[in-house]
Amino acid sequence: MSDEGKPKVINPLPGPLDGTCSVPGDKSISHRAILFSAMAEGTSRLTGVLDSSDVRASIEAVQKLGAKVSLEKQTDGSLAGGVEGWGAKGPVQPDGPIYCGNSGTTARLLMGVLAPWDISVRIEGDESLSKRPMRRITAPLMMMGVEFDPAGAETLPITERGCKRLRPIKYNSPMASAQLKTAVLLAGIRADGVTELNEPSVSRNHTELMLPEYGVETTAGERTARVKGPASMHSAEISVPGDPSSAAFIICAALMKKGSAVQVENVSLNTARTGFLYTLERMGATVETRHTGSAGKEPYGIISACYTEGLHGCEIPGHKIASLVDEVPVLALVAAHARGLTVFRNVQELRAKESDRLDAIVAGLAKLGVDAWTEGDDLFIEGQPGLQAPEGVVFDSLGDHRLAMTWALVGLTGNVPVAIDGFECVDVSYPDFLEDIERLSQ
């Protein structure tokens, strides 16, 4: 009988997590490698690309637009191979809409990719993506000359018609969003002059680090990124390091499961992404990093973590949130095990992710008897050292991969099984999550 539609039962791990593992390629870097290679002249060579439904949405999008993708599955589960871009001749008019599935990164970055071309493309998404805000991207692109239909649309579906003579802009972004920053910079590559984006706090900088590999110079200050157009893009060789956002689940599991000691290798140590380690350290966790190399300008290395007794709550300031934005759900679960109060400041962006993650965290922790609440833009969690899940808890993933993995850790590191509705959404970023973490406990 098929288990489809039934909640997935997650059983406690048989023992502590012990040993060394690696995690799949970084999702943000994988999307960028596919999209930038599609924009470039010639054939780029990519290795370590994440094979997940989100990245597949980007692959399918660029194929529809005329790029030739010959990525193949490798024995380690990653994708590697070539992407032949459209270069100066531009993308072709696709014969139907481009469906981005659950992938906000595909939809939003694509708007920047399409900006300089005189084609008309309808961009669609699944139910969750069709609720997520798009005005933040369309507003600056419209200032550059791009047309959207409907012009004032807040959400997908939206049809974009690019503009061959894009105007460069200086844009003060209302939020720290790397997706917004990237869409504007990608459009700026073909605008005539310097396009500049300022953000209220530092968001991930993979675009600024990767564009020079394709021959596009960028200047990046603390909260400013610039690109000078018009510039042409040549092919590149990109190797994608492991995803710290996926590693975070293994690291946090080790901190919560007695006796554990793990090392995650070849994982990105880009500081715009490792804010979760800063937070865990401040909670008293035993975590360490060691740089072992760099892929282009992206540093990578090893993260190690051991079970830590006596974790304590802490306050995470608003300016740090962008560096740990995708890790708030799993950090909230760790905070639920810690002594005292944890406060995440200015986490309003979590309401606009694959689900309303603030409401989901509060509701999920309530099932464990943990007091968590929001006040304005802040999230509060009153920890309970020694926390154990009651029997029979069923969590709803809300179709959100990071929630599915967070609630899975309750079952994996606890004493009783839990069930998760819609667990299969882990395919968005980490399809083998369960197998990888179970392997560390044998």
Smallest gap from Cβ 232 to ligand S3P, in A, equals: 24
**Stretch binding ligand S3P (CB under 6 A), from 57-65, 88-96, 158-166, 173-181:** 173-181
**Catalytic hit among 26, 54, 243, 326:** 326
Q: Which of 256, 272, 325, 361 binds ligand S3P (CB under 6 A)?
A: 325
Using DSSP's 3-state secondary structure scheme, residue 149 falls into: strand
Smallest gap from Cβ 216 to ligand S3P, in A, equals: 17
Per CB under 6 A, does 105 bind ligand S3P?
Answer: yes
Using DSSP's 3-state secondary structure scheme, residue 279 falls into: helix
By CB under 6 A, how many residues form the interface with ligand S3P? 13
Q: Which of 8, 23, 28, 44 binds ligand S3P (CB under 6 A)?
A: 28
Per CB under 6 A, does 406 bind ligand S3P?
Answer: no
By the 8 A CB rule, do 372 and 387 touch?
no
The H or E element spanning position 184 is helix 178-188
The reply to whether 326 belongs to the active site is: yes
By the 8 A CB rule, do 232 and 392 touch?
no
Per CB under 6 A, does 274 bind ligand S3P?
Answer: no
Per CB under 6 A, does 196 bind ligand S3P?
Answer: no
Smallest gap from Cβ 29 to ligand S3P, in A, equals: 8
Smallest gap from Cβ 249 to ligand S3P, in A, equals: 14
Identify any residues that bridge with 287 across adjacent strands, giving them in sequence order. 305
By the 8 A CB rule, do 260 and 12 touch?
no
End-to-end, the C-alpha distance of the chain in Å comes to 28
Per CB under 6 A, does 44 bind ligand S3P?
Answer: no
Alpha-carbon gap, residue 150 to 148, rounded angstroms: 6
Sheet with 218-220: list strands edge to edge: 170-172, 193-198, 224-229, 218-220
- With a CB cutoff of 8 Å and minimum separation 6, the contacts of 375 are none
Nearer to ligand S3P, 177 or 268 (CB): 177
Tokens of 293: 């190399």
Nearer to ligand S3P, 182 or 308 (CB): 182
Per CB under 6 A, does 270 bind ligand S3P?
Answer: no
Tell how many helices (H) and how many strands (E) occur in the chain.
Answer: 12, 23
By the 8 A CB rule, do 429 and 399 touch?
no
By the 8 A CB rule, do 18 and 440 touch?
yes
Alpha-carbon gap, residue 240 to 76, rounded angstroms: 13
Smallest gap from Cβ 218 to ligand S3P, in A, equals: 15
Per CB under 6 A, does 243 bind ligand S3P?
Answer: no
Nearer to ligand S3P, 28 or 44 (CB): 28
Per CB under 6 A, does 266 bind ligand S3P?
Answer: no
Smallest gap from Cβ 75 to ligand S3P, in A, equals: 27
Smallest gap from Cβ 181 to ligand S3P, in A, equals: 7
**Stretch binding ligand S3P (CB under 6 A), from 93-101, 123-131, 171-179, 387-395:** 171-179
Nearer to ligand S3P, 31 or 257 (CB): 31
Per CB under 6 A, does 360 bind ligand S3P?
Answer: no
- Whose tokens are 């909260």? That residue is 223
Q: Please give the residues from 175 up to 194 whose contact with ligand S3P meets the rule CB under 6 A.
A: 177-180, 182
Measuring CA to CA, how many Å separate 160 from each of 56, 110, 349, 376? 21, 10, 25, 35
Closest CA relative to residue 68, chosen from 79, 77, 56, 59: 59
- The catalytic site residues sit at 326
What is the binding site for ligand S3P (CB under 6 A)? 28, 31, 105, 177-180, 182, 203-204, 325-326, 349
